[in-house]
Every structure is written in C-alpha cells, then in structure tokens.
Structure 1
Amino acid sequence: MDASQPHDAGDAATDPGQDAGQPNPAEKFSATHKRGERGPDETIWRGGYSAVDQSGSFMILGLITIGLIAGGIFFPLVLIAIPVLWIIQLVRVWWIKMGVAYELTNRRFIHESGVISRTTDRIEVIDVDDVTIEQGIMDRMFNVGTIKITSSDRTHPELRLHGIKDVRKVALMIDDARQAERDRRGVYIESV
C-alpha cells in the first residue's frame, strides 16, 4: 500500500475523518449507547391490584346479604337487590384490577393506570426518597396493603400502590433497587 492511501482494507468500515479510538457520532447519541454501557432494564417485580384487598368490602356485603335475606321473608321484592349488589361489587373489583399494573426494574418504577385509556408513568428508582407500608387489620390478616412511595418526581411526588400482595416483600424490593442504583451511580444521601 502506498503513502497516498492511509487507510488499508481492514479500516474500510470506519469513517476516514474519524479517530479510531472515538465512537461514531451516530453511535454516541443512539438510545443503545449509554454512559457506563448499561444494558436493558431487568425486571425485578411485576404486579397489580390484588382483589384480596377488598376482603372487608366482601364481608360487609355478606352481612348486607344476610340482612336482605332476613328482610326478604317480609318483603320478597328486596331479594332482587342481592344479585345486583354482588354484580356491582364484582364489576368494581374487576375494573380496579384491570386498571392498574406495576413493574419494578433495576432503574425504574413503572405505573400503568386506566382500562379504556392507559397512562404510563415512570419514576427513576434513584429518585425514590421513602417507601412506607400501610395496612389495616383486614390487610394484615390477608398479607396485603398499600405502599406509599415518596419521590422527587414532578408528576408523582407521592404515589400510592393499593392492594399489593406480599406488601412487605415488595416494599423491600423497591428499597433495595433504590439503594443498588444509588450505589451504582455513587450517590450518597446525607441526613440533614
């Protein structure tokens, strides 16, 4: 090869005006090229609303049903209300269950809501400031509860996740993902 052609056949794939050690500008700004060469998000947990959270409502509805059956002895027309009330409650629980989905990855918490139209919100786990568990008496009996996430996210500074099964385990996963991402990025929060 002569001196007038500085590139040999092995370098034909690189841009002649670019240094061999520098990334191609198209690669530099592509979605797959990230600082630290991170791959895609890894799913840690996926879940939604647990109908077990409505156990108190079902117990109250059961007591109302017993009262209506007793009242049906004197007023038989009242018995029509029993299937109507149960259908309304089942449709309500189905609507809530279908309308909520959660996903926790190693970098993001994704919250989807809506049945007919869907809204997807993402919170970076590094932005999560606090994870709180709320449980009533019935919730503790059935191991469900509400997780309250407080974050520095503008759209959802406080996000409540209702009806989470194994609530303590899920809250710990969120907290662990937050701490792992802060450790990875070298972010340390000092107490004020």
Structure 2
Amino acid sequence: MSFVEKKRTKFLALPICFTTYTLSDEKVTIRSGFLSITEDDAYMYKIQDVRLKKSLLERIFKIGTVICYTGDTTHPELVLTHIKHAAEIKEYILTASEEARRKRRTMHTLDIDAVEFDSE
C-alpha cells in the first residue's frame, strides 16, 4: 500500500501548491518546486513518532498536517502539510515504520540520562 498526496491550500483545500508527498513501505518522499525541484527522502525505519494536527480550517475542509519525528540528521521533523486522508496516512506511517524496523531488525531505544545518587 502506498499514498501519493499533494499539499493543499488551507482555504478550500485546493491542490495548487507544487509539493507532492509519496509514501511507500520503504520511504517517505517529499518533492517540491516548480522550476527548481527539490526531492527529499526519509526511510520509514527512521521514523520514531507521528503527530496529527488539525486546525479549525483544516477540519472544515477535511485536511490535516502530519508531523513525523525521525532519527534522521537532515530531517528531524518531516511535515506533510495540509493533506487529505491525514488520519489514514498517520496510521499507515505508524504501522509501516514499525514493520520496517522489524524487517531491518533495528530497535529504537531511548537515551535516558540517569542521575546517580550517593548512598551514604
């Protein structure tokens, strides 16, 4: 399963922006620009957490913004702005990233700084 969505305007949710988001089982690709095109990729296994945001206008026009928090150095936050089917895409990214981590046998561990206490 994969998704291809276009960034939309916040008002009337029209797809007149030149940004396309492509999601596959392996990676997320953001392609933006008209004359000069920039294409950014992030592997699915690097995505650690996902957030869905919907403002009042986004809820009225049935669009949303999905924010992916990654372990990638170039894109610590991937923002899929004003897309349709935002809730479905969020769930897809969560399950696909977990599956990609299982396939690569990578574990996401948290770096929790422990405070040492003196026991006297």
Answer 1 or 2: which has greater strand percent.
2
For 1:156, the equivalent position in structure 2 comes to 75
Shift of 1:152: 1.5
Instruction: Say if 2:64 and 2:82, in contact at 8 Å, map to a contact too.
Output: yes
> Residues of 2 paired with 1:132 and 1:102: CA distance?
16
**AA aligned opposite 2:12:** S
Structure 1: segments with no counterpart, 5+ residues: 1-42, 57-89
Q: Which of residues 122, 125, 130 is equivalent to 2:49? A: 130
* Correspondence for 2:4: 46
Q: Give, in angstroms, the shift of residue 182 of structure 1.
A: 1.0
Pairs aligned (count): 111
Hey, what's the Cα distance between the residues in 1 that align with 2:77 and 2:91? Answer: 18
Corresponding residue number in structure 2 for 1:108: 27
Write the distance in 1 (CA, Å) between the matches of 2:109 and 2:36: 41
Q: TM-score, normalised by structure 1?
A: 0.53
Rg comparison, structure with higher value? 1
Report what 1:119 is aligned to: 38
Q: State the structure with bigger RCO (CA 8 A, min sep 6), 1 or 2.
A: 2
Match of 1:170 in 2: 89
The 3-state SS of whatever aligns with 2:2 is strand
Distance 2:82 2:61 in 1: 11
User: In structure 1, how many angstroms separate the alpha carbons of the residues matched to 2:90 and 2:27?
Assistant: 14
How far did residue 190 of structure 1 move? 4.1
Tell me how far apart the structure 2 counterparts of residues 117 and 190 of structure 1 sit (CA, whole Å): 38
Corresponding residue to 2:12 among 55, 63, 80: 55
TM norm structure 2: 0.81
Deviations 1:133-177 (A, max 9, x none): 111112123321111111121221112111110111111111111
4+ runs of 1 displaced by more than 6 Å? Answer: none
**Alignment correspondent of 1:141:** 60
Secondary structure at the residue paired with 2:34? Answer: coil
Q: Using the alignment, how far apart are the partners of 1:150 and 1:189 within structure 2?
A: 13
Higher helix proportion: 1
Alpha-carbon distance between aligned partners in 2 of 1:125 and 1:100, rounded to the nearest angstrom = 19
CA RMSD of aligned residues (A): 2.1
Identity %: 24
* Residues 55-94 of structure 1: pairs in structure 2 closer than 5 A: 55=12, 94=16
Task: Describe the SS at the equivalent of 2:97.
Answer: helix
Q: Gaps spanning 5+ residues in structure 2: where?
A: 113-120
